[in-house]
Amino acid sequence: MAKSFRNFIGGEWVAPAGGAFLENRNPADTGDLIGRFPDSDARDVTRAVRSAKRGFAAWSNTPAPQRGDVLRRVGDLMVERKEAIADAMSREMGKVLAETRGDVQEGIDTAYYAAGEGRRLFGRTVPSELGAKWAMSWRRPIGVVGLITPFNFPMAIPTWKMFPALLCGNSVIIKPSEDVPHTVHLLVEILLEAGLPPDAVQLVHGRGETVGKALVEHPEVPVISFTGSTATGAIIGETCGRMHKRLSLEMGGKNAMIVMDDADLDLALEGVLWGAFGTTGQRCTATSRLILHRKVHDRFLRRLVEAAEGLRLGDGRAERTDVGPLIHEASRANVERYVEIGREEGAELLTGGKAPGGRLAAGWFYRPTVFAGVRAGNRLEQEEIFGPVLSVIRVGSFDEAVRVNNGVRYGLSSSVYTRDVNLAFRALQALDNGITYINAPTIGAEAHLPFGGVKATGNGHREGGWGVYEFYSETKVGYVDYSGRLQRAQIDTYDV
Ligand code: NAD
């Protein structure tokens, strides 16, 4: 009998108000039931908000360096449990252990960065234009923060949001993806063990259209941070706009790797395999387009197809596996639909294009797929697929490659392989993305740098790095006039 997990609301582990649960199954072997997780509703969100408001009152008055100390202990506990969490994450999400270990490590890095930030959280002291007047700014907590996260980075993305939000003195309510609820359950256990006051964190499991929606629509949750698809982000954005909420959106991508005629092709080959088929293509930064210079096009493709066919599919928890399954049946059906679209658009299927049989039939596996002859503007080239499907576009020049890269609605990440330093710097300027890699694939962000994209990928905010602390705090300004008389800014000094 699989375990029934609970929400964490009001300082205790509780069953959902409606008593309903959702099954969490291993995508590599759907016969493996991990547990039942709450299928919560708006009533659970209401209770969580009530408790989070109490949590905010106490936690926001805890000095920031002490808040940082709690997050340092969180990091320490994550280090201790890294292997166990990675194993649980591979079981529910499917990606290989090397990647789930990396996912936990990103959380650890984020915890230690946040811990240090507790002794910074800089404000500014600046000269006033008037004499005997002091002018300064500092950062204040905002209130209850609602966090909604996707399935593909079950630990890293929740920590990118939670840790800076908590360090800034807010209380948080997290609704993790219903596809990977176990990892955040383990994270909340760690937060409590590390000494976070229980009311400062609430975990409400459930579906987006119920729990996620209720959180976004709750009038006493002034800040929402969402990572997921652009379609869901648009719905959330409308509500938050209407309700004047502070909102961070991190959404879809259609990232390209450009391989120029002077590139180190061995390096580029390794990069594209990792970028396109790592996490089974289910990364917001996945390399889903390969823009090849015509002079290396045929040579590179031959090697790519052979290498893609050599990738070993399997359970992510087996050390020999290169590529795990897709997250669920609907996701595989979506990939199949795009393969059909590619065929209809006249692209040439070089390898893949089907699910494997045999012992892999028990999971949502799909073979690494490469389409050549994809034309800029085709649906295969424009739309996010979120699976192991790589579209190859042939170009004749760097300028054409830039046009193809920039010709999509998304703008998360891009990559260029070249040995020409001038071209590398031109690319950094010309490619319209939040992140550009030179001689590395479109993935590989580090926790202490800003992460996010332009156009339909985001709404101007960034996760990670220093900027995210501005998102989760309010700037307050104070003026102290110690002149003993009325001084008028803009008027007294510039009176002509
Ligand atoms: P999704 O949009 O289906 O779901 C994301 C989260 O939103 C889930 O927790 C879901 O329950 C919730 N949700 C769904 N409908 C909702 C609603 N109406 N109101 C409130 N919440 C709702 O995305 P997914 O399939 O879990 O993840 C894949 C997507 O995430 C891809 O598009 C990918 O590019 C994107 N992503 C972006 C980044 C980034 O940083 N830019 C990182 C990872 C993933």
* Residues 244, 264 within the same domain: no
- 1 Cβ contact partners less than 8 Å away, ≥ 6 residues apart: none
236 Cβ inside 6 Å of ligand 1: yes
In degrees and rounded to multiples of 5, residue 203 shows phi and psi of -120, 115
Distance CA 490, CA 12 (A): 55
Note whether residue 489 is domain-resident.
no
* Residues 238, 278 within the same domain: no
366 SS3 class: coil
The ligand 1 atom at the shortest distance from the C-alpha of residue 453 is 41
* Residues 225, 276 within the same domain: no
Radius of gyration of the chain (CA): 24
Distance CA 437, CA 41 (A): 42
Q: What is the DSSP string of 198-263?
A: GGGEEE----IIIIIHHHHH-TT--EEEEES-HHHHHHHHHHHHHTT-EEEEE----EEEEE-TTS
Note whether residue 379 is domain-resident.
yes
In degrees and rounded to multiples of 5, residue 137 shows phi and psi of -130, 150
Tokens read off for 390: 């790589």
CATH of the domain at 116: 3.40.605.10
Other CB atoms within a 10 A radius of the CB of residue 84 amount to 11
What separation in Å is there between the alpha carbon of 340 and the centre of ligand 1?
Answer: 24
pLDDT of residue 472: 98
* Residues 358, 223 within the same domain: no
209 Cβ inside 6 Å of ligand 1: yes
pLDDT of residue 493: 86
Note whether residue 495 is domain-resident.
no
**Pocket-testing residue among 148, 239, 248, ligand 1, by greatest number of atoms within 8 A of Cβ:** 148
List active site positions: 250, 284
Q: Which stretches within 34-155 are classed as H helix? A: 42-59, 64-80, 82-93, 97-117
Note whether residue 488 is domain-resident.
no
Tokens read off for 215: 């959180």
Residue 74 pairs in a beta bridge with none
In degrees and rounded to multiples of 5, residue 174 shows phi and psi of -110, 135
317 SS3 class: coil
* 8 A C-beta contact, residue 374 and residue 389: no
* Residues 15, 136 within the same domain: yes
* Residues 222, 307 within the same domain: no
* 8 A C-beta contact, residue 329 and residue 316: no
Q: Which stretches within 315-369 are classed as H helix? A: 329-344
* Residues 57, 199 within the same domain: yes
* Residues 217, 350 within the same domain: no
pLDDT of residue 222: 98
**Pocket-testing residue among 106, 183, 284, 288, ligand 1, by greatest number of atoms within 8 A of Cβ:** 284
**Pocket-testing residue among 22, 227, 279, 327, ligand 1, by greatest number of atoms within 8 A of Cβ:** 227
282 Cβ inside 6 Å of ligand 1: no
Indicate which residue's Cα is closest to atom 39 of ligand 1: 250
* Residues 97, 161 within the same domain: yes
Q: How many helices (H) and strands (E) does the chain have?
A: 15, 21
Q: Which stretches within 310-444 are classed as H helix? A: 329-344, 379-382, 398-406, 421-430
Which residue, chain included where needed, has tokens 């176990």? 182
CA torsion sign, 431 to 435 to 441 to 442?
A: negative
pLDDT of residue 171: 99
Structural domain harbouring 63: 7-251+458-477
Note whether residue 180 is domain-resident.
yes
32 SS3 class: coil
401 Cβ inside 6 Å of ligand 1: no
In degrees and rounded to multiples of 5, residue 128 shows phi and psi of -80, 155
* 8 A C-beta contact, residue 323 and residue 364: no
What separation in Å is there between the alpha carbon of 308 and the centre of ligand 1?
Answer: 28
CATH of the domain at 391: 3.40.309.10
DSSP label at residue 313: B
* Residues 362, 221 within the same domain: no
* Residues 178, 302 within the same domain: no
Note whether residue 446 is domain-resident.
no
In degrees and rounded to multiples of 5, residue 452 shows phi and psi of 160, 180
* Residues 246, 275 within the same domain: no
* 8 A C-beta contact, residue 48 and residue 211: no
199 Cβ inside 6 Å of ligand 1: no
Q: Which of 187, 144, 203 is nearest to 16 (CA)?
A: 203
Indicate which residue's Cα is closest to atom 19 of ligand 1: 213
53 SS3 class: helix
Instruction: Tally the domains of the chain.
Output: 2
pLDDT of residue 388: 98
Separation of CA 257 from chain center: 20
Q: 3-20: b or e for each residue (b if 16 or more CB lie within 10 Å)?
A: eebbbbbbbeebebbeee
What separation in Å is there between the alpha carbon of 52 and the centre of ligand 1?
Answer: 23
* 8 A C-beta contact, residue 417 and residue 268: yes
Distance CA 322, CA 123 (A): 46
Note whether residue 491 is domain-resident.
no
Q: How far apart are the first and last CA of the chain?
A: 84
The ligand 1 atom at the shortest distance from the C-alpha of residue 148 is 9
Q: Which stretches within 118-173 are classed as H helix? A: 156-167
pLDDT of residue 496: 67
213 Cβ inside 6 Å of ligand 1: yes
143 SS3 class: coil
Which residue, chain included where needed, has tokens 């509703």? 41
Proportion of the chain in helix, strand, coil states, percent, rounded to 5: 40, 20, 40
Q: Which of 141, 177, 157 is nearest to 61 (CA)?
A: 141
Note whether residue 334 is domain-resident.
yes
Distance CA 196, CA 360 (A): 42
pLDDT of residue 487: 97
Per residue of the chain (496 residues), what is the pLDDT tens digit? 799 999 999 999 999 999 999 999 999 999 999 999 999 999 999 999 999 999 999 999 999 999 999 999 999 999 999 999 999 999 999 999 999 999 999 999 999 999 999 999 999 999 999 999 999 999 999 999 999 999 999 999 999 999 999 999 999 999 999 999 999 999 999 999 999 999 999 999 999 999 999 999 999 999 999 999 999 999 999 999 999 999 999 999 999 999 999 999 999 999 999 999 999 999 999 999 999 999 999 999 999 999 999 999 999 999 899 999 999 999 999 999 999 999 999 999 999 999 999 999 999 999 999 999 999 999 999 999 999 999 999 999 999 999 999 999 999 999 999 999 999 999 999 999 999 999 999 999 999 999 999 999 999 999 999 999 999 999 999 999 999 999 999 999 887 6
